[in-house]
Amino acid sequence: MGFECREAQKIAGIFTVFHIFKNNQNRLALVLIDLDVWANENAVDKWPACIQHVQHVRDSGLTTVVLWEDFWLNKKEIVRSRLSAILGLAHKIPARLTKVRRIDKETTDRFLAENHLNGPVSAKYKYGLYLPASYYRVLNEMLTPEIGSTEMLVAVATFSYPRIFNKETNPLRSHELIRFASLRDCNVVGGLDKLLQAFIREKEPGDIMTYADVEWSAGASYNKLGFKKIAQTQPEAFYIDTKTMQRKTETGTASEVRENDMEIRNMGSIKFVKQILN
């Protein structure tokens, strides 16, 4: 495919950056976070320099992704899929060929566990995009629908209960877009927009809010869908169990932190809002 990956530099002397090239064109800067290095190199103090570097590289126009070791070890196939999509290698499925409808919790949780880096979480409204069997011809040889199936679930979006705000004396129903995921190794072109429009038609929200994970993007895809950036959250603390490589949020008292828990930081999130009704 003409791709080349090589180490480019170190950030703050410890965070490794690889540049991925396609036909001598720089396409992606990948910042790798080694947990042994994080533990032994006082990385928390150097984390702001890494955040600043990522922002600087993105401002120059180069797509940049920050990848933690635990995500690679636990969810390698999902990571590979997302990187392939960023590099334009994912198999494309036109959303216009799909049908959208509400789906149940079991179907949603199973799909998100297999296709979303952060897995399923509680949500009120759940929608899926289904590719009818009459269009299976657009699938490549790596995607094999179940024998005898009449359709294939290729994307999912979930939304929260509404929050009611009084805005200039009029109530406004605000929902959160909590999760969106396409089938691994696929890019459902126009998929999120189609799911959003189905939700808007059914629930008539005043606005829809969502967050972009700074480690993976600056939210350009949300901008294209009419979302506006309104805030950016600060980095948050998490713990990783170094034996199981499982994450948990920083909750409870210090006495609940176990011997195997390693404190890490994320890069925060960007908050976006799409105004629907005036």
CATH topology (fold) of 91-232+269-275: Aminopeptidase (3.40.630)
Segments making up each domain of the chain, as ranges: 3-89, 91-232+269-275
Cα→Cα distances 213→191, 222, 234, 269, 270, Å:
19, 12, 11, 5, 7
Is pLDDT larger for residue 19 or for residue 230?
230
Which residue in this structure is represented by tokens 């702001």?
48
- The per-residue pLDDT for range 62-83, each reduced to its tens digit, is 999 999 999 999 999 999 999 9
pLDDT confidence of 24, banded at 50, 70, 90? low
Using the predicted structure, report yes or no on whether residue 7 has a pLDDT greater than 90: no
At 142, the pLDDT band (50, 70, 90 cuts) reads confident
Confidence at 1, pLDDT banded by 50, 70, 90: very low
Q: Say how far residue 66 (Cα) sits from the centre of its chain.
A: 12
Q: What's this model's pTM, rounded to 2 decimal places?
A: 0.91
User: What does the DSSP assignment read for 95-157?
Assistant: GGG-EEEE--HHHHHHHHHHH-TT-----SEEEEEEEEGGGGGGS-TT--PPTT-SEEEEEEE
Confidence of residue 152 (pLDDT cuts 50, 70, 90): very high
- Give strand pairing partners of 167: 170
State the Cα–Cα distance between residues 158 and 2, nearest whole angstrom: 37
Torsion of CA 55, 56, 57, 61, to 10 degrees: 90
Closest to 156 measured CA to CA, from 122, 115, 200, 217: 115
